[in-house]
Structures are given as structure tokens and as C-alpha cells.
Amino acid sequence: MFKRLSFLLITLFFVACSTDKDCNEEVDLSQVDIDLDFEDLTHAIYQIETKEQLESFFVQNPVIRDYFFGYADLVPRQSFLNEVLRFTQVPKVKSIFKARSYQNFQEQLDENREIREYLSFEYLNANRDKGLEDVYSLISNSRIEDLTSTSAIDVYLQANPSEFDYFKFVFNFQTPEGLTKENLALLSNPYVDTLYQETIRLINAQEIAYELDQAFARIKSFYPDFEAPKVKTVYSAFGKDIYMSDSLIVIGLDYYLGEEASYRPNVYDYILKRLTPDHLVPQLMQFMSQAYNEIKEGKHSVLDEMIYYGKAFAFAKQMLPCTADSLIVGYSRQDLANATVSEAVIWNHFLEEKLLYSEQPVHVTRYIDERPNVLEIDRQCPGRIGQWLGWQIVQAYQEETEEDFVNLMKMTDAQQLLTRSKYRPRSR
């Protein structure tokens, strides 16, 4: 059972502070040449008022256009036409389109609930002034079900814009022109204005730039060939949190406003709690660790996954030595305390259930992947507990062997690392 003594939390707080010894062991970065190219685009986005300004901004920032404002998700028109053709050739659908009366139309929809939802839900949800009778009026006057080629459907929809607008909702289709119009309206929406005001109030982009500059310098001190990517910050009404490539990082600041924000991303609460300004750079460092964190090919056991994530946390801590462990692992202080004081309980569970060498997906999902809690151990056991435990093993390995950090990140033999770590749960 997890220990819940309040005085332990106070003890752990001081222990956590005292173990950040790397903060007092400054790495000499004077010879590391990092020229961080950082651009905060939140103000530029806020000032966009016309279609021409928006299109000009997108031309200059194609990644932001595609991944933060939805253009990468656009479905090709031909795919849309293929879907319309397949759907309207289904016998039950053809019968509904040829319903003799509104009553008969309703009866057929009641017998085919999936088709009813397909034909009416999105359209009526977006057009609150309309009802099912409007859908019947449009369908009963349509002849699209008689068309047998996509080219014919394309010509027909161009000649019947009201039906084109209807089928766009049915198949969630958007044209580039329509999406531009939608994005322009979005940026002038009052709630998005609030999002902008809170973004500049709750997040200091220059502090992020400084933290990244220092972290990138540390990466380069270990990996001399590292070239710092350009970094841009934006807000896009939760279009995306982070985009990363070797040459560019784009950060959606509105994702990381924290509990003070009026609006938050639509994600699970246990994920939402680590979408704060303080978690932003640690998460970026974990993502960046992927370029250096090697793992064996083929099937992975629970232990393989534990060590992989343990090395990712070790990488983030190495590049952000003064950052609290709770921010590195993405746990609240309470969750970290619960895990820390019950390390022996957790480890014994892994041993007793013979989890370390299991390659069953259910075990990886249960102990490694995102979950609010790991009820199989205890109601207070936080999710991703296998990741945290892997970090404890990696830390034990570092202390026991004093292995070179770069070599640690190259290690792919999780069993060898565990053996050489001489890991045992620490006494609390």
C-alpha cells in the first residue's frame, strides 16, 4: 500500500532540493557556440485582419499553416468525390434519397440510425436554424444518387452550391479557400482574442528562449555536431501543441497556459495538468532526446520500454539540471511523492507479476502508456509508472558506473543496464 504520511512530503521536498547537485556544478559552456534563432509570432498573428495578410503570413510560415491551422489535414477533392459516389450508391441510401414523403423519409432514417446520423448530425449541428425537414427538402430535390462517376458528381456539385455545402458537412470536407475564410473568422473571434491576451500574460516567450538557448548549449557540449533548430512560438486556438524537425521547432503557446487560463485544450485531465509554462521546455527536451536515445530493433519488453523512457528523462535532466524532477517526469508533487515513498512496493509488483520481460501489449499499455492511475498497484499510483521506474534504474546505473552520458544514451541492452545498475529500491 502507498504511504500517505504528510511529514514524508516535507522530507521529500528537501531531499529533492538537495539532490539537484548538478545546479552547483556548472558545465563550462563558454566554448559552445549556439546562435539561437528564436521568433515569437504571437503578436504577428494577432495583427492579422485581412485575407491577404493571412495568406502572406502562411506563405512565409508554411509549417504553421499546415500543422497549426489545419491545412495538412485537408482531404483532396478527388477523395471527397470518391466518398460521395460510394455513399450515394448504397441501396439503403438511394432508397432514402427517393423517399416518397417526409414521413417515409423519417421512417427509413429510424430504421437506419447510422445513416440518419451521417446525413443529419454534422449538418444540423453547424446549422442550428435548420431541422430535419430542411435535410429532407434538400435530399428529395437532389439527383446525385443517379450519378455514377466522380466527374459527373463534381460537375453537379459545382452547379448546385447548396448541395455542395451540405455534402461538405456530411463528409467533413474543406477546401483551402474555405479553410482560409474559417481561420480568418477564428482569429477575430472574441474567445481567441482572450486566448492571445492570456498567452502574452501567462507565458514569457523570452524566458523560453533563454531556457532553450542554455539547453541547446548543453546538448552541443555533448554532441558537437548538433545544430540548434530555429524556434517559433505561436497561438492558434489549440491547432497543435508542438511541431518538431531537425531544423525547426514550432510551439503552440496556448497549449501551455496552465490552470489560470480561461480556455484549455480538450485533453484528458491527467494530461492537462502538465500542459503548463513550467512543463514546456522539459517536454521539448524529452522530444529532442529521441535523436540520441537508441533502442534495440524488434519486439520490446516492458523493461526495454522502461529503460528507453528512463534515458529520455535522464537526457532532459542532463540538459535542464536545475529543473525539478516532478517537471521532468510530468508528475504533480503529490504523484511524485506517492511514487517515491512506495518505490519498493512498485518494484515488488513488477517482480511478482513477472512484468519486466513481458512483451504483451496489454502490459506496456498498463504500466508504460498514458493512464490516470495504475490501479493494479494502488489507486494512488500515478500513470506511466513504468517510465518513472525506468528512470530510477537509469539513475542507479549512472551512480554505480559513472558511465559517460553519450554512451548511456547509446545503450540498447536493457538487461545489461539493469544488471550493472545493481538497482534496489531506496530506503525512504
**pLDDT at residue 19 above 80?**
no
Q: What is the pLDDT of residue 423?
A: 97
**pLDDT at residue 22 above 90?**
no
For range 243-254, the mean pLDDT: 97
Confidence of residue 109 (pLDDT cuts 50, 70, 90): very high
Q: What is the pLDDT of residue 31?
A: 73
With H, G, I as helix, E, B as strand and everything else as coil, classify residue 303: helix
The C-alpha angle 397, 335, 242, rounded to 5 degrees, equals 80
The rounded distance, in Å, linking the Cα atoms of 280 and 328 is: 10
The rounded distance, in Å, linking the Cα atoms of 360 and 212 is: 38
Beta bridge partners of residue 234, listed in sequence order: 252
Radius of gyration of the CA atoms of the chain, in A: 27
Contacts of 148 (CB under 8 A, 6+ apart): 85, 89
Sequence-separated contacts (24+) of 134-141 with Cβ below 8 Å: 135/166, 136/99, 136/102, 136/105, 138/162, 138/163, 138/166, 139/96, 139/97, 139/99, 139/105, 140/97, 140/99, 140/105
Give 296-355 pLDDT, tens digit per residue: 999 999 999 999 999 999 999 999 999 999 999 999 999 999 999 999 999 999 999 999
User: For strand 230-234 and strand 38-40, is the pairing parallel, antiparallel, or unpaired?
Assistant: parallel
**pLDDT at residue 426 above 90?**
no
Confidence of residue 40 (pLDDT cuts 50, 70, 90): very high
